[in-house]
């Protein structure tokens, strides 16, 4: 199974664990490290919305907690008519570690869209500043 399919399967499984009682918008993410490991995340909501974490950041923080700092790919799964992109906060967090990250987003029906993080976050805030 190629990397994209592995990531999509892992993201779909992670989505099943989402805690989204307020928005009912469950998201699963799977992040591929440079050495081939996969870290997953799901969104975790809180009644105090500012404390909510997106699936992408949960996956990234899990990878960082395990000592991983280089990522090559990310898959997202949602139950939406069209594939979605990461929010601005997630884009910035991911950019910190992997400006060249590729992202595949899919819905439950299998519709897919590929992105490059640099295209989604042009002129990103970075250490260069």
Q: Which residues are catalytic?
A: 56
**Rounded CA separation 42/90 (Å):** 13
53 within 8 A of 17, measured Cβ to Cβ: no
Burial (CB count within 10 angstroms: exposed 0-12, middle 13-18, buried 19+), residue 54 = buried
């Amino acid at each position: 199974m190629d990397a994209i399919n592995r990531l999509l399967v892992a993201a779909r499984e992670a989505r099943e664990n989402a805690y989204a009682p307020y928005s009912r918008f469950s998201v699963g993410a799977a992040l591929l490290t440079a050495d081939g490991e996969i870290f997953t995340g799901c969104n975790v909501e809180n009644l105090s919305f500012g404390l909510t974490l997106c699936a992408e950041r949960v996956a990234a923080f899990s990878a960082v907690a395990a000592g991983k700092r280089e990522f090559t790919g990310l898959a997202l799964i949602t139950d939406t008519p069209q594939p979605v992109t990461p929010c601005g906060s997630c884009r910035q967090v991911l950019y910190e570690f992997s400006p060249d990250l590729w992202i595949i987003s899919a819905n439950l029906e299998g519709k897919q869209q590929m992105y490059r993080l640099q295209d989604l976050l042009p002129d990103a805030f970075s250490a260069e500043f």
